[in-house]
A = this chain, B = another copy of it.
Amino acid sequence: MKKIIEKLKEKNIKITPQRIAIIEFLMSTKSHPSAEDIYKEISKKYPSMSYATVYNTLITLKNLGEVVELAIDSDKKRFDIDTSLHHHFYCTRCKRVYDLSKNFIIEAISTIDGHNVERTFLNFTGICNKCLKEEKDEQDRKKS
């Protein structure tokens, strides 16, 4: 919490009650909430809260590296303020997202923590070799 506030100050990003409420809510839950979940929860205390502010804050925190946007629920974005290395399990029935530890058996498995795993996706996100090459070519061109 303090660490995030410090980071906001460093970057000249203003500390508003809405932002604090969103950060506090994210830190209080392991539910990997969607923007809507966050909006509804915060609205209880701040009836004037708007979606614009929720999305605004989430994008700000994501850009700071203090929130991770999860692509596990294909219907909507889900957010996690725990940016440490860990993985997720998504229930296709209730849409809950569970944390998985870094240390799990990485074979084709039929059971994790008692869940019935139907399908395993190992997804990696980053900059691809095509983009890296284009970027390098671009730099080389500028040099010469």
| Inter-subunit contact A123/B90 (CB<8 Å) | yes
The minimal Cβ–Cβ distance linking A87 to chain B, given in whole angstroms, is 4
User: Given B85, B106, B127, which contacts A92 in the complex, CB threshold below 8 Å?
Assistant: B127
| Inter-subunit contact B92/A125 (CB<8 Å) | yes
Question: A14: CB under 8 A from chain B?
Answer: no
> In the complex, what residues of B have CB within 8 A of residue A72's CB?
71, 121, 123, 125
Question: A98: CB under 8 A from chain B?
Answer: yes
- A72-B123, A123-B90 in contact; A114/B98 too (CB < 8 A)? no
Count of identical protomers in the assembly: 2
User: Given B70, B85, B92, B129, which contacts A126 in the complex, CB threshold below 8 Å?
Assistant: B92
Interface size class of A (residues with CB under 8 A): 35 or more
| Inter-subunit contact A116/B100 (CB<8 Å) | no
> In the complex, what residues of B have CB within 8 A of residue A2's CB?
none
- A74-B70, A106-B106 in contact; A124/B120 too (CB < 8 A)? yes
Give Cα distance in the complex from A71 to B69, angstroms: 12
| Inter-subunit contact B128/A118 (CB<8 Å) | no
Residue of chain B at shortest CB distance from A94: B131
Give Cα distance in the complex from A90 to B124, angstroms: 6
> In the complex, what residues of B have CB within 8 A of residue A117's CB?
124-126
| Inter-subunit contact A125/B89 (CB<8 Å) | yes
8 Å CB interface, A100-144 against B: 100, 106, 108, 112-132
> In the complex, what residues of B have CB within 8 A of residue A114's CB?
129, 132
